[in-house]
Amino acid sequence: MKKIAVIVAGGSGSRMKSAIPKQFLFLKNKPILWHTITAFTKAFDDIEIIIVLPASYAEEGKKIADSFSTPHKIICINGGETRFRSVKNGLDLISEEAIIFVHDGVRCLVSETLIRNCYQQALEKGSAIPCIAVTDSIRIIEGSKNKLLNRENIRIIQTPQTFISKLILPAFQQDYQSSFTDEASVVEAFGKEIYLIEGEEENIKITRPIDLIIAERIIKN
Ligand SMILES: Nc1ccn([C@@H]2O[C@H](COP(=O)(O)OP(=O)(O)OP(=O)(O)O)[C@@H](O)[C@H]2O)c(=O)n1
Ligand SMILES: C[C@](O)(CO)[C@H](O)COP(=O)(O)O
C-alpha cells in the first residue's frame, strides 16, 4: 500500500521560548525537522512526505526538504492557526488510497521500527496510535479537591498517528472542535474506533527547553 507521511511543523513553538520555531533549532548539526524527515525516509524507501510549515518559515523548510535526494518525494505546504488546520492542509493534498502517518515535526527521535509497526497495524486494523504507560502517580483536580486515578488505565499518546486514508480523510471534513488535540480525537469524534500500539519512551515531543537537553543526550546520528 502507498505510504504518505504528513509531518506537521507549522507551529510557533511558544513553550520553547526560542528565537526561531523549535523545529528549526539544531541537534547534532542538523535541524530538528531534518532528523524527523530522516526517520521516515529510512523507514521506507517508497514513502511520500508532505511537510507542513509556518508560512513565515516556508523558505527555511523548503531548504531542509531540498537537502533530501530522490527517490523520496517531498512536498511543502503552509500550515494554519491550529494543529487541526495544519494537518488538514496536508491531508487535502491526498486523494489516493494510502496508509497516512501524521507525525509531529518535533518528535525527531522516533524509530524506524515504530514507524514500520504503525504501518503494519494500520494496514490490519485501520489505525495505529502509539502510546506509553505512565510511571508517575496521577491525580485529577475536581474543583477545590483532587482524586487519585488508576494509572493502569492511563496512556500517554504519541505520534505517528497512522490511519488508512478512508478513515482519516473523511474525519477531517468535520468542523473543528477545541477538544481536538490530535488526529485520534478527530477520528474518534467521527464515530470510529481507535487502536493503540506500544510507543517508545524515547519518542519525546520537543516542547520545552528541557526536552532539547534530553534529546541531545539520546539522539544517535
Ligand atoms: N498550528 C500548528 C500548531 C502545531 N503544529 C505542529 O504540531 C507539532 C506539535 O505541536 P506543539 O509541540 O504544540 O508545537 P507548537 O504549537 O509549535 O508549540 P507551542 O504549543 O509551544 O506553541 C509541532 O511539530 C508543531 O510545529 C502545526 O503544524 N501547526
Ligand atoms: C499530537 C500529540 O503530540 C500527541 O501527544 C499532542 O497531542 C500534541 O499536543 P500539543 O499541545 O499540540 O503539543
**ipTM score of the complex?**
0.98
**Cα 145 to middle of ligand 1, angstroms:** 32
Q: Which atom of ligand 2 is nearest to the CA of 181?
A: 7
- Give the whole-angstrom CA distance, residue 202 versus residue 221: 14
Kindly state if the Cβ of 86 falls inside 6 Å of ligand 2.
Answer: no
- In DSSP terms, 93 is beta-bridged to none
Residue carrying C-alpha cell 541531545: 216
Per-residue pLDDT of the chain (221 residues; tens, 9 = 90+): 999 999 999 999 999 999 999 999 999 999 999 999 999 999 999 999 999 999 999 999 999 999 998 767 899 999 999 999 999 999 999 999 999 999 999 999 999 999 999 999 999 999 999 999 999 999 999 999 999 999 999 999 999 999 999 999 999 999 999 999 999 999 999 999 999 999 999 999 999 999 999 999 999 86
Q: Which of 16, 50, 57, 86 to mutate to test the pocket of ligand 1 (most atoms within 8 A of CB)?
A: 86
What domains can you pick out in the chain, each with its CATH number? Answer: 3-218 (3.90.550.10)
